[in-house]
Chains A and B, each alone.
Chain A
Amino acid sequence: MSLLELRKLNKHFGGLHVTNSVDLTLQTGEIHCLIGPNGAGKSTLFRLILGEHHPGSGDILFAGENITALKSFARIHRGLSVKFQVPGVFKGLSVRQNLEIALQSRQRGAELNAEIARLLAFLGLESEQAQIAGNLSHGQKQWLEIGMAVSLKPRLLLLDEPTAGMSPEETHMTGEMVQRLNADGMTVLAIEHDMAFVRQVAHRVTVLHLGQVFAQGSIDEIVADERVAAIYLGQAHA
């Protein structure tokens, strides 16, 4: 069953056609990675899905419902959640308060405290809970934001470069985190440049190039595709 369906999605910024008739279907339960060179339109596609940008034409269907005209917060209520590219934590507030703000509309009192404790353990941030989020390491900020996004118990989790700036060990740990979430039933769409991460988690990969879907398949198929190597992997290895 498809959870997210993009139909002929178009977005122009002036004369620049950043999203060009994109069709993309996400199956419930899959981990789908979105790759492509800089400027391919990956982040714009995320912003369209989240409602921060509105498409010139085309439709976005989530769990069968057309959400193209919904405001961002309403899409979150439907079961979408996101971790941004630049860690979007509340820098001036404590780690605990960051999680509390994410959780408080669903839980209260003892239940809220238990859920915060569970998330802190999941993220490996127990000893940092009183720390101001702005003082965390880059990797920890990424995890905290993943924790905030996950706390909403979304049906679809969007991750924009979840491992950017992480060490290979941290990247691997993040991959395991994503796999655990997926095992619990969360569908994941991730933008990622780190091919080790993509290989670790992705069930399917879509290559975006110049705003269009360029190729789609398993990671092995994508890596074997010479056209992809020419536009993306070739550049990356050069």
Chain B
Amino acid sequence: MNGFLSLFRRLEGPQTVGRGPAFWGLFALVLAVALAYPLFSDGYTVGNTVYFFVWVFIALSLCLIWGYGGSLSFGQTAFFGIAGYGYGILTINFGSAYGFTLVALVAAVAIAALFAVLLGYFMFFGRIAGVFLGIVTLAVTLMLERFMAQTAGPEWHIGAARLNGFNGMSAMPPLTIPWPGEPIVLFADVGLYYLVLGLLVFVYLALRILMNSSFGNIIVAIRENPERAEMLGYDIRKYQLITFVIGAALAGLSGVLYTVWGQYITPSSMGMTAAALPLIWVAVGGRSDLTSTVIGTLVVLAAFQALTIYGSQYALVFMGVLLVLTVLIAPNGLVLGVMNWLGRLASRLTQRAG
């Protein structure tokens, strides 16, 4: 029981912005609005919101590995793609009966994590760090993209699942929950919305606890000064690998949910543009804080979609400009900058009141 309570205490701490009744009150309010929102909206808009939520997991994975851990992974999309394709291959072969889609979700995430164990082992135990880590991870995701793009021929199949080259894989079943009478199929509207929202809240809170624990302390210590961390007796390679694998699982979760949402996955989801965009969301939001990452990602995604609709090809140029502006004006992230400013303002007001 005590251990359980101490978990809750770790929801706040030095590694996460936001504490006290004001923050959690706001959190509860936002959650209540998010829960009620489908009642006042149409299926298409709700489905579109699910699409935004889906990307938050890969953003959080980068926040964890890059923002907290200090290792820039340019290839989170590799795990996104592996898990997405994994879900497709499993469900096209084994169908959706008996809740198998849920098993496939977990299995696909596990495959991505396993791949991260292998890749991460060679990188971290081989002491690859800094910009070289970015280069290796980018190379891996681009290689996977190239490889999948040339699988158009009929010889490229795993069981009943054709890989389909550049066009990608489609028509995999949506997530289906077995239910007495009739199974519940989570199409990309209200049903999937609540599942993804639930996962998002769970992952966000779990990461807050993890980052404010002694494990999180070591992760940020490695970011600040890896040599010092090692000379305090920590095997930093082990901690870097664990962080990388957790991040890969989150990117994989993004990939599965994306595949479930649109019932398709293509090689371009592992390409250059796809790999670069999460970096921009996370950098603009504030890579060293979970809340800033979530808010930043949702805001930038919504702006990007609006621009794509009204300004088409200029949207990507705008993303580039946004990244440059962030680096110049608020290197720690725009959302984080605003939140810190609000925090200082609040403490000044309470001081004056006291």
What is the interface of chain A, defined by CB distance below 8 A to chain B?
50, 52, 71-73, 76-77, 81-82, 84, 88-94, 97, 100-102, 104-105, 145, 148-149, 152
Contact = CB atoms under 8 A, between A and B. Distances in A.
Contacts of A105: 214, 232-234
Interface of B: 14, 214, 217-218, 220-221, 223-225, 227-236
7 A-B pairs with the lowest CB-CB distances in the bound complex, closest first: A76-B233, A90-B224, A88-B228, A104-B214, A101-B221, A73-B235, A101-B217
30 contacts: A52-B227, A73-B233, A76-B230, A76-B231, A76-B232, A88-B225, A88-B231, A89-B225, A90-B220, A90-B221, A90-B225, A90-B228, A91-B224, A92-B220, A92-B224, A93-B224, A97-B14, A100-B217, A101-B217, A101-B221, A101-B232, A102-B232, A104-B217, A105-B214, A105-B233, A105-B234, A148-B228, A148-B232, A152-B232, A152-B233
Given A84-B227, A104-B214, A93 B233 contact: no
A102 B225 CA distance: 13
Contacts of A89: 225, 228
A90 B348 CA distance: 27
A91 B228 CA distance: 11
A92 B236 CA distance: 18
Contacts of A73: 230-231, 233-236
Contacts of B225: 88-91
A97 B231 CA distance: 16
A93 B235 contact: no
Which residue, B225, B227, B229, has most C-beta atoms of chain A within 10 A?
B225
B250 to A, nearest CB: 24
A90 B232 CA distance: 12
Nearest to B223: A92
Contacts of B230: 72-73, 76
Contacts of B231: 50, 72-73, 76, 81-82, 84, 88, 149
Contacts of A100: 217
Most chain A CB neighbours (cut-off 10 Å) among B229, B231, B232, B236: B231
Contacts of A71: 235
